[in-house]
Amino acid sequence: MYNIKKFGEVDSLRVTVLMEDYAGYESGYWGSHGIALLLDVKAGGTNKRILLDVGQSFEALMHNMELTGVEPESIDMVFLSHCHYDHTLALADVLEQMNKEIPVVGHPKVLRKNFAVDPFLKEIGAGNKNTPGKLTGLGAQLALVGEPFPLMEGVLSTGEVERTTDFEGRGIGTYNLVDGSLVPDSLVDDMSIIVNLKGKGLFVVSGCSHAGIVNILEHSKKITGIDNIYGVIGGLHLVNADDRVITKTIDGLEGVNPHLVIPGHCTGQKAQYRLREKFGDRYLPMNSGSVFVL
């Protein structure tokens, strides 16, 4: 197992929201259900571009990348936060555009079939274009690891997240296909990226937070031994949560006391409103095209 004591730290991080559900007011960017977050990381003499998720719409991603001036081939690594199509579907097309060998990091189960049955049965995973064989053929160097895993100096995958709270991380009613049976799924493949910002603390980048954002932040503290959470960006998947769960999540976040909360994608309007109320200046909105320099 990787020795987390070697984790290290980064000098600077720039997060560009290449795509998410919404484009801002008078924006030329396109919104598309899903998320794609570009991390420009500087650590020592190393500058790397890591793309967390690719979204479902290749056209929207390419449109937004052109506006931000990001060339697909300039990306050094792709990280898949979990299996769902709104994070993974465009992968094969993006790899084709990158036209090179590139590490693709995710959980060992990230490319499984995942089924929703409500309101009707459909497969909501990465889809038939994104099988391991096809992705490898397009240059993906699949690094499918369920443990905390180093991406570069000061940047770590959470690996599978320990579910410790009683109000999150139980799945969203989807099923896996196992030996011909539909088996309830808890989205064990949900993983986030932890960046250790020099002099600031941990900044956590999440796709949907299906493991639960409080679980993810507590897990990040536990595996790194660093208690200071500087901030978090990503989907918090509270879109269908009731008031009780939203309240418990906000209480849990307050307990972790991040300096910045930047929720998007599947967070949902009600939770967004309450997070903004609670965190005030520490809350930042995000849309397609937003840039955060940390």
Q: Which residues form the interface with Fe ion (CB under 5 A)? A: 84, 86, 208, 266
Which residues are registered as beta bridge partners of 47? 42
Helix, strand, coil percentages for the chain (3-state, nearest 5) = 30, 30, 45
Report how far residue 276's alpha carbon sits from residue 264's, in angstroms, rounded to the nearest whole number.
Answer: 12
Instruction: Kindly give, in sequence order, each residue whose CB lies less than 8 Å from that of residue 275, ignoring residues fewer than 6 positions away.
Output: 236, 250, 253, 261, 263, 267, 283
CB of 174 to Fe ion, least distance (A): 9
| C-beta of 43 vs 238, nearer to Fe ion | 238
Do 175 and 183 contact (CB within 8 A), yes or no?
A: yes
- Nearer Cβ to Fe ion (87/219): 87
- 18 vs 208 by CB, closer to Fe ion: 208
d(CA 230, CA 219): 15
Using CB atoms within 10 A of its CB, is residue 55 exposed (0-12), middle (13-18) or buried (19+)? Answer: buried
Q: How far is the CB of 101 from Fe ion (least distance, A)?
A: 27
CB of 10 to Fe ion, least distance (A): 26
C-beta of 226: minimal distance to Fe ion in Å? 27
**Cis before residue 258, ω within 30 degrees of 0?**
no
Classify residue 217 by its DSSP letter: H
Which distant-in-sequence residues (6+ apart) come within 8 Å of 192 by Cβ? 81, 157, 158, 161, 204, 205, 206, 207, 209, 211, 216, 220, 234
Measured CA distances, 165 to 69, 107, 245, 248 (Å): 41, 22, 11, 10
Q: Shortest gap between Cβ of 35 and Fe ion (angstroms)? A: 6
Strand partners of residue 283: 261
Q: How far is the CB of 246 from Fe ion (least distance, A)?
A: 18
Nearer to Fe ion, 253 or 266 (CB): 266
- Work out how close the CB of 116 gets to Fe ion at its nearest, in angstroms, rounded to a whole number: 11
Instruction: Give 55 or 72: the residue with its C-beta nearer to Fe ion.
Output: 55
Cβ distance to Fe ion smaller for residue 55 or 154: 55
- 126 or 223, CB closer to Fe ion? 126
